[in-house]
Amino acid sequence: MGAVRIAILAVAAIAAIALAFLVRGMLVPKTPRAPVIAAAAPAKPMAQVLVAKRDLPVGARLAIADMSWQPWPADALNPAFVTDGAAPALPATGADKAVKTAAKVTTDLIQTQEPMQAFSGAIVKEVILKGEPIMARKVVRAGQSGYMAVVVAPGMRAMSVPINAETAAGGFILPGDRVDVLQSRKAAEGDGFITEVLMRNLRVLAIDQATAPGKDSKTIVGAVATLELPASDVEVLARGKAQGEMQLALRSYADAGGGPGRGGPSRSGDGLRVYRGGAVTEVVAQ
């Protein structure tokens, strides 16, 4: 056998073997590769923060319906936030003094109550936007410093007048009611009296230091009533206090609409005009 023929046979044998392996690879099913799954990034720890459900302007009184819990990244928490139904831990030693103070105010506020209950009834003294955390430094509660200054509406003033059970409708006037301020005094001439309505439709801010009636309270008998009136009318009450005793007439809720205003003389002569239940009665002094 010649060398050429041997070489041809060898090449043919190698080609046949290669073809056999190729055909075998095409016929045998390939084992599917397991998919490569990227490791998921660990979830960031979250906390629940007490936030406003709506925009709260200065002077708004907080209600439970105004607050909700919202997820908040734990690494973005401020010590002054109210979280997970409790105040966050106080910052470590060396933290900014203002941060420590804010955290302590929040802790003191809710240490004895459920957070929403603790904030309910507080007055907003700095604007709180929807979704913004509610912090103790942005609200003020009755009895706290600055409470009355927040309650008084812009352009209005708070002024106190002396009262007793007789001059304050028997004690049935409560904080939040609307009243007229009256005064009776002797006429300049003759023996008659002048009854004058000094101011109409004033809001009662407080009786003594009580800014809200107690639970189930129907009366408050105090010595001083704090009234809200326009800044331009402060001198009216100041003059009335100098002239003598004043009386508060309780207005009906149905008659409490509109703003406050000045009154005027009701009658000049020897009697008084009494308003009771919508009826007007003339009472003549003997």
273 alpha-carbon distance from chain centroid? 43
Dump pLDDT digits (tens) for 25-51: 676 666 666 666 666 667 788 888 999
- Residue 277: what pLDDT? 54
- Residue 143: what pLDDT? 67
- Residue 179: what pLDDT? 94
For the chain, domain boundaries: 46-148, 154-284
The full DSSP string for 133-194 is BP-GGGEE-TTSTTHHHHHSPTTEEEEEEE--TTTTGGGT--TT-EEEEEEEEE-SSSS-EE
106 alpha-carbon distance from chain centroid? 15
Q: Which of 84, 79, 57, 191 is nearest to 136 (CA)?
A: 79
Please tell me the distance from the alpha carbon of residue 24 to that of residue 32, in angstroms, as a whole number: 17
- Residue 102: what pLDDT? 54
- Residue 122: what pLDDT? 87
- Residue 193: what pLDDT? 78
- Residue 22: what pLDDT? 74
Q: Which of 132, 131, 106, 103 is nearest to 119 (CA)?
A: 106
Dump pLDDT digits (tens) for 87-126: 444 444 545 555 555 555 556 555 556 888 888 888 888 8
- Residue 218: what pLDDT? 84
The whole-model pTM stands at 0.56
Q: Which residues does the chain have with pLDDT short of 70?
A: 1, 25, 27-41, 85-113, 143, 145, 190, 264-286
Q: Check if CATH label 3.90.1210.10 holds for domain 46-148.
A: yes
Contact 53, 130 (CB under 8 A): yes
